[in-house]
Amino acid sequence: MSRLNIQRLRDELAQAWTVAVKDVRVYYLRPGMIMFGFLMPFFMFFSFSVRREVGAAEGVARLLAMTIFFTAGAAGPFIIPTERRIGTYDRLLAAPMSLLTLLLGKTAVGTFFAVAVSGVALLAGLLFFRADILQPGLLVAGILLGAFSFATLGLMFGSMPTTNPGDVQMPSTLLRWGLLFVSGVFIPLSEMAPAARAIAYLSPLTYAQDVMNHAVLGSGLINPWLDLAVLALSGILFLLPSIKMHQRARVLGH
């Protein structure tokens, strides 16, 4: 790789980091982020777990999977349409960096958010549920790759050519809730009917839940390496429609 290309790569990484840090400072404390990213997973957890005889370890694994899922996916659908509406997104699109760099910066925002809120969830699990983490390495890898996958899923919705966050929140929330109920979060995979399990395997949340089960309970239904590979691959795949939709937005003029 030539010196020029290495310099360009360094510049692009620095620019992705700059975008991510700016978004953290500007958007993390916005009501939309707090509602959909921070409070939602805890509400959902308590709604479906309290008084249902859920074991401590099982509850913590579920809480972690839901936290990563909701929190990582909250940034994209909120931030990008908001920036398009107020015109600040043009500043980013006109800057000397590739579209992929911009999208990776935006992905990092959701990923950091999920990692931070997962830390809170983990702490709550350790303190209040007295849960043990049996495989800490797997837990860290699962949180990081799960956060990446769900951040790019959120980014995909944020990339829809619209300037109204409301246009994006509705389909994104519908899909996320749908995934939540088919992904073995509330009904374990082993207890699902074959048809339901086949649907569950299509959802990346299934793999995130399974890897959390491995890390906290010490057992899961899928090979943990496969869980991690699916999370990484789905994260990359979700970037592709985001790129296409940005290119479409440039044609449409959004």
Partner 1 sequence: MINAIEVENLTKYYEKFLAVDHISFTVKQGEIFGFLGPNGAGKTTTQRMLTTLLTPTEGGILINGHDLARDAYPAKQKIGLVPEESNVYTELTAWDNLMFTARLYRVPRGERAKRAQELLETFGLWEKRTVRAENFSKGMRRRLSIAMAIIHKPALLFLDEPTPGLDAQSIRAIWELIRRMNAEGTTVFITTHQIEEANQLCNRVAIISHGKIAAIDTPERLKANFRRVQSVEVAFDREMAEQGSGLESLPGVTTQVKVADKMRLYTEDPSALLPRVTQYAESHNLRIVSLNTLGPSLEDVFLEVTGGQIGVIKHETEEKPHRRGMGGRQ
Site for partner 1, rule CB under 8 A: 8, 11, 14-15, 18-19, 22, 25-26, 86-88, 90-98, 247, 250-253
State how far the Cα of 200 lies from the Cα of 147, in Å rounded to an integer: 19
Closest CB to partner 1 among residues 94, 195: 94
Closest CB to partner 1 among residues 17, 186: 17
For residue 31, CA distances in Å to 22, 26, 37, 143, 156 come to 17, 12, 10, 24, 21
What tokens were used for 71? 């929190």
Closest CB to partner 1 among residues 50, 94: 94
CA-wise closest residue to 176 among 21, 45, 36: 36
Question: Are residues 210 and 230 in contact, defined by beta-carbon separation less than 8 angstroms?
Answer: no
* Shortest distance, position 104 Cβ to partner 1, whole Å: 14
Closest CB to partner 1 among residues 31, 136: 31
Question: Are residues 165 and 32 in contact, defined by beta-carbon separation less than 8 angstroms?
Answer: yes
* Shortest distance, position 60 Cβ to partner 1, whole Å: 34
Closest CB to partner 1 among residues 68, 108: 108
Question: Are residues 125 and 212 in contact, defined by beta-carbon separation less than 8 angstroms?
Answer: no
Contacts of 227 (CB under 8 A, 6+ apart): 142, 207, 208, 210, 211, 214, 220
* Shortest distance, position 143 Cβ to partner 1, whole Å: 28
* Shortest distance, position 158 Cβ to partner 1, whole Å: 18
* Shortest distance, position 16 Cβ to partner 1, whole Å: 10
